Structure 1
Amino acid sequence: MSMSDEERDEYPDGMVRLRNPNIELMDQDILYHLALGSGSHDLPVMFGDVKFVCMGGIPKRMEQFAFYIMDEIGHKLPSGTTLVDISQYSYRYSMYKVGPVLSISHGMGIPSIGILLHEVIKLMYHSKVRDPVFFRIGTCGGIGLEPGTVVISDEAVDGLLRPVLEQAHLGKLVQKPAKLDKKLARELLSLSSPDEPYDTVLGKTFCTDDFYEGQARIDGAFCSFSETDKMEFLNKLSKMGVSNIEMESLSFAALTHQAGIKSAVVCNTIVDRLKSDQVLASKEILEEWQLRPQKIVARYIKRYLSNKGRLSLENHGHGGGFYVKSPRRMKLVQQESETYD
């Protein structure tokens, strides 16, 4: 069930609501893959001031983004402290907090980001966060776009070109609408600069369950179609207004929409799929391209904080340590999360 505009209007306080009555019946809610828990950690103290949740695939990239956004918003950590990976005991995702910004790695693909989103949305709920804004910052394959182009998604579609996330629940297929905030997408586009040596565009995103055959590649271990078939399909996508291909936007759009959370996907293309299947750019060029979506998101965050008079956030909020409600429960949560499969 998705949250309608009318249902959102019932909650003028902006608090994140869960669509699961079972959570209220639990003694504590262990966020297993984040190594956090509602009974072990004081989550409102740790995360109550969060406004922006920024996600990307790779832990190192999101650590770098945390330091980047810290410089951009002028955040100063208390003397003698440094940023820490709050979820270091999970060995699955990395999470860094810079004042009102969370920087989190989501791994690769719909299953990985879906697990994370369930727990981060619950984290927002337990922390009593108001009106958070979620961003996915990543890389993608472009369709007819110069590598290095920034694509802001205005819609996500699945492998059958439907704007829904389809999952099997209790042996039955369930569809969740995958909707992104179009106003937020336009606002982000307005923050691009004509002076930049690359284009920033709005476009539809084709989200797949697979990197190879699912994305019409012919360079995997297996291939069930010809080069001609591939090009016909990619050209069909282009005519439909699809600008890029990646593996997370569908789940990101569907779950944030269901939670009533404003969200956007901003990616840079690293290959034009009409010309090549393989990424041929150097590591140095790829690293420069990956900064481009971060710049737009940082501009949005800076503008918001500036309007609120919250730039230069010296000693503001939680700097990345742990506020423990129950040392015994915290130890148990960490031990549970450390037991990786």
Structure 2
Amino acid sequence: MAQYPLFRHPSDNEPEESRGKWKDGPVELKNPHIQKMDEDVLYHLALSNKSHDLKEMFHDVKFVCFGGSPTRMQKFVAFMAKELQFKIPAGMTLQNISHGSDRYVLYKVGPVLSVSHGMGIPSLSIVFHEVLKLLHHAGCTDVKMFRLGTSGGLALDPGTVVISEAAVDGLLRPYMEIATLGMILQHPAFLDKELNEELHAIADDLGFTSVIGKTMCTYDFYEGQARLDGAFCDFNEEDKMSFLKRIHDRGIKNIEMESLCFAAMAYRARVKSAVLCCTIIDRLKGDQITASHETLEEWQERPQKIISRYIQKQLGMIK
């Protein structure tokens, strides 16, 4: 069988001391074709740099918060409106800016964007491309990006917030592979260490249990995460436990489905980013999520509260 050539992204060849060097300033696109286009349609956000004044609408954005569920991100932006003391005119509500599309939601309150990304790497990849282009066309500077979500933990009490120090794939490789023009390109998935440490300290201040560690990102929810309760399963309980214990011994704290893409794309754009996921189950003890709806809601709010406190600090609202 013919082998496709394998390439690493050029940034993966950078010396170790240069990694994690994030760029402040304007959000840049590594695509020269964009500047030659008469119109750049952000199709899945129902926006365009020709039909909308993106600079007027978004120039002040400093923080972009992603989450899987549209409802969760709608609740998050309402929460941020209160936290930032953002006054909504009487009789009005925060509107989904991307209401012309049924793929994602996009809300804005002050310098904060709240974006849903759906489930899994393909869905996140699409909206990440378009949000980056939106930020570029709007002339945004010094932007930070966050993924807020849930995950399965390993030897952690449910409710623990995992702050990802690195994202790896199902083979524990710290890069995302993309098939491009018949080749496999590997994009490293690094996250900002200093930002992680700031968020970890905030979690402690808020009284939340949190850890910094590696996150394994898989391409599906069942077999890729060693679950026994999917429609298909080619392994047994002993195989599953052996695998989970092995990856735990390799520093994996949690498992989810988006961190690898999020980290890789943010690193390519050199935008400072962080991934905070609350664990809702200890996978070493079971596969099915049994916590009550009320408990799950409280756990899911923990990453949001950490990011809210961080944003308030950055804006000088609190010390």
- TM-score, normalization: structure 1? 0.86
The match for 1:296 among 296, 302, 306 is: 306
Q: Which residue of structure 2 lines up, in the alignment, with residue 144 of structure 1?
A: 155
Q: Which residue of structure 2 lines up, in the alignment, with residue 204 of structure 1?
A: 214
The match for 2:125 among 101, 111, 114 is: 114
How far does residue 7 in structure 1 lie from its aligned partner after superposition? 11
How far does residue 195 in structure 1 lie from its aligned partner after superposition? 6.5
Quote the Cα distance in structure 2 between the aligned partners of 1:223 and 1:264. 33
The match for 2:199 among 182, 185, 188 is: 188
Q: Which residue of structure 1 lines up, in the alignment, with residue 135 of structure 2?
A: 124
Say if 1:6 and 1:39 are closer, same or farther in 2 by CA, change over 3 A: farther
Q: Which residue of structure 2 lines up, in the alignment, with residue 338 of structure 1?
A: none
Q: Is the 8 A contact 1:70 1:76 kept in 2?
A: yes
How far does residue 74 in structure 1 lie from its aligned partner after superposition? 1.1
- Secondary structure at 1:154 match in 2: strand
Quote the Cα distance in structure 1 between the aligned partners of 2:253 and 2:177. 22
Q: Is the 8 A contact 1:17 1:125 kept in 2?
A: yes
Say if 1:57 and 1:8 are closer, same or farther in 2 by CA, change over 3 A: closer
Count residues with an aligned counterpart.
Answer: 307
Structure 2 alignment gaps of length 5 or more: 1-8
Alignment RMSD (CA, Å): 2.1
How far does residue 131 in structure 1 lie from its aligned partner after superposition? 1.2
Aligned pairs for 1:39-58 (under 5 A) are: 39-58=50-69
Quote the Cα distance in structure 2 between the aligned partners of 1:80 and 1:249. 38
Q: Which residue of structure 2 lines up, in the alignment, with residue 178 of structure 1?
A: 189
Amino acid at match of 1:265: V
Say if 1:76 and 1:10 are closer, same or farther in 2 by CA, change over 3 A: closer
2:165 equivalent to 1:165: no
2:215 equivalent to 1:215: no
Q: Is the 8 A contact 2:206 2:306 kept in 1?
A: no
- Secondary structure at 2:33 match in 1: helix
Q: Is the 8 A contact 1:2 1:258 kept in 2?
A: no
- Secondary structure at 1:191 match in 2: helix
Structure 1 alignment gaps of length 5 or more: 312-341
- Secondary structure at 1:263 match in 2: strand
Q: Is the 8 A contact 1:189 1:201 kept in 2?
A: yes
Amino acid at match of 1:169: T
Aligned pairs for 1:1-341 (under 5 A) are: 1=9, 14-193=25-204, 196=207, 198-306=208-316
Quote the Cα distance in structure 1 between the aligned partners of 2:157 and 2:149. 16
Quote the Cα distance in structure 1 between the aligned partners of 2:117 and 2:158. 23
Q: Is the 8 A contact 1:2 1:257 kept in 2?
A: no
- Secondary structure at 1:192 match in 2: helix
Q: Is the 8 A contact 2:178 2:185 kept in 1?
A: yes
Q: Is the 8 A contact 2:20 2:192 kept in 1?
A: no
- More deviation in 60-69 or 78-87? 78-87
Quote the Cα distance in structure 2 between the aligned partners of 1:210 and 1:165. 15
Quote the Cα distance in structure 2 between the aligned partners of 1:11 and 1:50. 16
Q: Which residue of structure 2 lines up, in the alignment, with residue 325 of structure 1?
A: none
Quote the Cα distance in structure 1 between the aligned partners of 2:21 and 2:66. 27
Q: Is the 8 A contact 2:22 2:272 kept in 1?
A: no
Answer 1 or 2: higher relative contact order, Cα 8 Å, separation at least 6. Answer: 1
Q: Which residue of structure 1 lines up, in the alignment, with residue 4 of structure 2?
A: none
- Secondary structure at 1:303 match in 2: helix
Say if 1:195 and 1:35 are closer, same or farther in 2 by CA, change over 3 A: closer
- TM-score, normalization: structure 2? 0.92
Quote the Cα distance in structure 1 between the aligned partners of 2:192 and 2:157. 25
Amino acid at match of 1:215: Q
How far does residue 225 in structure 1 lie from its aligned partner after superposition? 1.0
Amino acid at match of 1:64: K
Quote the Cα distance in structure 1 between the aligned partners of 2:21 and 2:121. 29
How far does residue 2 in structure 1 lie from its aligned partner after superposition? 5.9
How far does residue 221 in structure 1 lie from its aligned partner after superposition? 0.3
